[in-house]
Amino acid sequence: MSFYVVDVALPVPLLRTFDYLPVEGDARENYQPGQRVRADFGRQLLTGIVLGTRDSSEVPTNKLKPLLARLDDAPLLAPRDLSLARWMSDYYHHSLGDVLEHWIPTMLRRGAGLNEADESGWQRIASPNTEPALKGSKQLALWQQFQRQEYIAHRFLTAQGFSLAQCRKLAELGLIEEQTRLPVPALPESVRPALQLNDEQASAVKKVSDVLGQFKACLLEGVTGSGKTEVYLQLIDKVIQQGKQALLLVPEIGLTPQTVRRFQERFNVPVALLHSGLNDRERLQGWRQAREGQARILIGTRSAVFTPLPDLGLIILDEEHDGSFKQQDGLRYSARDFALVRAHQAQVPVLLGSATPSLESLHNALTGKYLHLKLTRRAGNARPPGMKLHSILHQPLVHGFAEPVLTAMQQHLNRGKQVLVFLNRRGFAPLLACKQCGWNAECRRCDARMTLHQYPPHLHCHHCDYQQPVPKVCPECHSPDIEPIGQGTERIEDHLSALFPQTPVKRVDRDTVRTKQAFDDLFEEIHTGDPCILVGTQMLAKGHHFPDVTLVVILDSDAGLFSADFRGMEHSAQLIKQVAGRAGRAESPGDVWIQTLYADHPQLNLLIDDGYHALALSILRERLDQQLPPYSHMAMLRSECEDRAMAQRFLEQARYILQHWLKQYGQKDAPVTLLGPVPAIMERRNGRYRFQLQVFCSERKALHQTLDAALKQLQELKGFNKVRWHIDVDPLDTL
């Protein structure tokens, strides 16, 4: 038997893989890329992924340890999965072992067998024509079930009132036997017919259908209510009919029961779901249903983009501009960008849908890199909501509302309609201050103010979660004259209850709807259509449509207008449009009133008068001038440390190292440039000082080469053990 080693990726943050001797006596052909193995690593036990075998190792033989066990015979991951993981490891400068953790459900990472997703049930083994002499009528009824279906999961039988004893009796008679299987999602009782498409929708379906079977990125830019979902449904139908699987990715908050039901009721195929509300076993089940091909449609949130699909035919990413597609810690990947890479590998189209596309995607569509599909008309020829800026500069406000806004609210309520008040700030008030000495309640761990909450009363830092009781008197001057300044959703709810005593006021934010279930329940309630006022944060803006809301009031659009972040205006506009789109339907179009101190703000006016697309073009011109994304590529190094000087010094070192490599890899027409280190906008958070260093280049390759080389040296730096740092490729924000 000849010598060989197994190359293993382990879940440790080291940018290399590890050689192991095989399990004692295990033949080389037993090792295939994608299997799980147990490895003795340092002083810990880890589950790793086999990448391959080699004749020899660079590592001295006496340092090589044998693997403790091979956990799979058949590889868990296919070569295509491994090659995608390698791409991700390179692109995000993250360890391959850590990256591979994202491909595998938690249970399997802990070494569980695939069959632990199975559930018990009974398989008919006798001919369905058998007419056994059965005593009880219940037993006969049970046998009749099996005459119709040859396999029934145990939980369905208990749900119908059959007992384990009755099943065992049939088993004793040789009619059925116990068998465990992977549960398959139920099919709908009846399939709903497709809707009639308008010509724009039909054209979009046609254009994407034409490129099925090849890679093509498509941007579906469709105004709210223009019927994007119907386009998705009809494309998925085509994909299924070709015997392929469809992957639909949605933002976390968009995976509502209504949406899911719409997909499930349309197709006579199993639909698998993967979202954060599932337990480990349910996740494993969904993953296997997708990977083993039982599920033909997979609907999931960000992390579902990794799920192996043997017959992938189409990827759809809805609300593609949504920030939740970018992971904000650990492996900072963008599910949108990865979906493109995956679609390219599988040679299938990827469809990005949004009413307010990200400037990256819009730019790619405008330059012809993506197919640009537009839906400009609302279904049923509904008029778009009328948006109106209402200046509150030098205007008296009644509990945060301008008088004409309150009048409009009353009018809509009188007509038996619902009103939505949007305020992206939870709590009672964003500030508690002393009238006598000017003291502000600030977080002791952050450069931020504490938010005052009243239900129940406490001060809460939304940046680090630090909480403390509300002081009775000013801690500085002991005056009892301390008061809340500004409005949060709690306070607006109070004010509205006083202003409209006859109308129920419902608050929707993270504090009132803690669970997905609570949100779904509240949503059902709102859907009865009874007049009410909804007050809420961006929770209200995403995912759900409220057909009985005919007036939307936006209270604090100003926060984003002067953001320090270069994407601030883009995100503000997306949010305003999204909130506005919650209102109205065909027969009763909605009104949208935006209270603002800056009614002259040119970009805000552009958004209101000419729409998102026009504003987007204007912002793109600014980005071009400033050579910001999408006209350059960016990576960000962030450091944080309780010791301010240490955090800063780390990035100064990083700058020094980067400066060396960018001379080598930067080109004359594509230089690599550095910005920083500078303190983060909120310099101290959770007791740690934060700094950042931005790296730009118009060429991805040079940027990555520079980062790669610098990263190796950064990891070797000594004396920075207390500094926490990371690289964020294509960061979402620079705050």
Partner DNA sequence: AGCACGCCGACT
Partner DNA sequence: GTCGGCGTGCTC
Check residue 724 for interaction with DNA (CB under 7 A): yes
Q: Pick one of 9, 33, 50, 57: the residue that binds DNA (CB under 7 A).
A: 57
Cα–Cα distances (Å) from 465 to 244, 446, 686, 687, 728, in that order, read 46, 10, 9, 12, 24
Check residue 437 for interaction with Zn ion (CB under 5 A): yes
Q: Pick one of 113, 132, 475, 719: the residue that binds DNA (CB under 7 A).
A: 719
Of the candidates 348, 118, 371, the residue with the CA atom closest to the CA atom of residue 245 = 348
Dist CA 75 CA 72 (whole Å): 6
Question: Exposure of 663 by Cβ count < 10 A (0-12 exposed, 13-18 middle, 19+ buried)?
Answer: exposed
Q: Does 443 appear as a known binding residue?
A: yes
CB neighbourhood size of 525 (10 A): 12
Task: CB nearer to DNA: give 111 or 719.
Answer: 719
Of the candidates 225, 222, 220, 230, the residue with the CA atom closest to the CA atom of residue 192 = 230
Helix (H, G, I), strand (E, B) or coil at 712: helix
Check residue 570 for interaction with DNA (CB under 7 A): no
Q: Pick one of 190, 381, 528, 721: the residue that binds DNA (CB under 7 A).
A: 721
Task: CB nearer to DNA: give 101 or 221.
Answer: 101
Please identify, among the stretches 116-124, 230-238, 402-410, 446-454, the one whose residues bind Zn ion according to the rule CB under 5 A.
446-454
Cα–Cα distances (Å) from 629 to 270, 362, 648, 694, 695, in that order, read 40, 12, 25, 12, 12
Task: CB nearer to Zn ion: give 582 or 638.
Answer: 638
Check residue 111 for interaction with DNA (CB under 7 A): no
Please identify, among the stretches 8-16, 28-36, 118-126, 502-510, the one whose residues bind DNA according to the rule CB under 7 A.
8-16
Cα–Cα distances (Å) from 516 to 1, 268, 300, 528, 724, in that order, read 57, 27, 15, 19, 33
Check residue 31 for interaction with DNA (CB under 7 A): no
Site string for DNA, 679-718 (x = CB under 7 A): ---------------------------------------x
Check residue 477 for interaction with Zn ion (CB under 5 A): yes
- Nearest approach, Cβ of residue 433 and Zn ion (Å): 8
Q: Does 434 appear as a known binding residue?
A: yes
Q: Which two tokens stand for residue 47?
A: 């589950």
- Nearest approach, Cβ of residue 74 and DNA (Å): 24
Q: Pick one of 154, 445, 458, 545: the residue that binds Zn ion (CB under 5 A).
A: 445
Summarize the chain as % helix, strand, coil (round to 5): 35, 25, 40
- Nearest approach, Cβ of residue 468 and Zn ion (Å): 10
Please identify, among the stretches 8-16, 38-46, 176-184, 466-474, the one whose residues bind Zn ion according to the rule CB under 5 A.
466-474
Helix (H, G, I), strand (E, B) or coil at 230: helix
Q: Which does 12 bind (CB under 5 to 8 A by kind): Zn ion, DNA, none?
A: DNA
Please identify, among the stretches 40-48, 181-189, 257-265, 568-576, the one whose residues bind DNA according to the rule CB under 7 A.
40-48
Q: Pick one of 3, 16, 279, 667: the residue that binds DNA (CB under 7 A).
A: 16
Q: Which does 492 bind (CB under 5 to 8 A by kind): Zn ion, DNA, none?
A: none
- Nearest approach, Cβ of residue 328 and Zn ion (Å): 17
Check residue 38 for interaction with DNA (CB under 7 A): no
Of the candidates 450, 446, 444, 448, the residue with the CA atom closest to the CA atom of residue 432 = 450
The 3-state secondary structure of 481-540 reads CEEEECCCHHHHHHHHHHHCCCCCEEEECCCCCCCHHHHHHHHHHHCCCCCCEEEECCCC
Check residue 483 for interaction with Zn ion (CB under 5 A): no
Task: CB nearer to DNA: give 12 or 681.
Answer: 12
Q: Does 641 appear as a known binding residue?
A: no
Q: Which two tokens stand for residue 567?
A: 């994407």
Task: CB nearer to DNA: give 39 or 433.
Answer: 39
Q: Pick one of 439, 566, 598, 631: the residue that binds Zn ion (CB under 5 A).
A: 439
Please identify, among the stretches 33-41, 201-209, 346-354, 477-485, the one whose residues bind DNA according to the rule CB under 7 A.
33-41
- Nearest approach, Cβ of residue 435 and Zn ion (Å): 8
Check residue 461 for interaction with Zn ion (CB under 5 A): yes
Q: Does 532 appear as a known binding residue?
A: no
Q: Does 697 appear as a known binding residue?
A: no
- Nearest approach, Cβ of residue 77 and DNA (Å): 21
The contacts of residue 554 (CB under 8 Å, 6+ apart) are 422, 576, 579, 580, 592, 593, 594, 595
Q: Which does 439 bind (CB under 5 to 8 A by kind): DNA, Zn ion, none?
A: Zn ion
Phi/psi region, residue 617 (left: phi>0; alpha: psi -120 to 50; beta: rest), is alpha
Task: CB nearer to DNA: give 39 or 77.
Answer: 39
- Nearest approach, Cβ of residue 44 and DNA (Å): 5
Q: Which does 719 bind (CB under 5 to 8 A by kind): Zn ion, DNA, none?
A: DNA
Task: CB nearer to DNA: give 63 or 135.
Answer: 63
- Nearest approach, Cβ of residue 269 and DNA (Å): 40
- Nearest approach, Cβ of residue 35 and DNA (Å): 17
Dist CA 695 CA 398 (whole Å): 47
Helix (H, G, I), strand (E, B) or coil at 478: coil
- Nearest approach, Cβ of residue 40 and DNA (Å): 6
**Inter-residue contact 71 to 49 (CB < 8 Å):** no
Site string for DNA, 58-97 (x = CB under 7 A): -x---xxx--------------------------------
Distance, first Cα to last Cα, the chain: 58
The 3-state secondary structure of 27-91 reads CHHHCCCCCEEEEEECCEEEEEEEEEEECCCCCCHHHCCECCEECCCCCCCCHHHHHHHHHHHHH
**Inter-residue contact 520 to 481 (CB < 8 Å):** no
Q: Does 167 appear as a known binding residue?
A: no
Q: Does 218 appear as a known binding residue?
A: no
Q: Which two tokens stand for residue 348?
A: 């299938």
**Inter-residue contact 591 to 550 (CB < 8 Å):** yes
Beta bridge partners of 88: none
Please identify, among the stretches 16-24, 364-372, 455-463, 534-542, the one whose residues bind DNA according to the rule CB under 7 A.
16-24
Looking only at the bridges linking them, the beta strands covering 44-54 and 36-41 are: antiparallel
- Nearest approach, Cβ of residue 82 and DNA (Å): 18
Residue 664: φ, ψ to 5°: -75, -40
Q: Which does 437 bind (CB under 5 to 8 A by kind): DNA, Zn ion, none?
A: Zn ion
| DSSP characters over 353-419 | EESS--HHHHHHHHTTSSEEEEE-S-GGGPPPPEEEEEE-TT--EETTEEHHHHHHHHHHHHTT-EE
Compute the radius of gyration of the chain from its Cα atoms.
29
Task: CB nearer to DNA: give 57 or 537.
Answer: 57
Check residue 23 for interaction with DNA (CB under 7 A): no
The 3-state secondary structure of 615-682 reads HHHHHHHHHHHHCCCCCCEEEEEEEEECCHHHHHHHHHHHHHHHHHHHHHHCCCCCCCEEEEEEEEEE
User: Which residues of the shown chain bind DNA in the complex (CB under 7 A)?
Assistant: 12-14, 16, 18-21, 39-44, 57, 59, 63-65, 718-719, 721-722, 724
Give the residue numbers of the binding site for Zn(2+). 434, 437, 443, 446, 461, 464, 474, 477
User: Which residues of the shown chain bind Zn ion in the complex (CB under 5 A)?
Assistant: 434, 436-437, 439, 443, 445-446, 461, 463-464, 466, 474, 476-477, 479
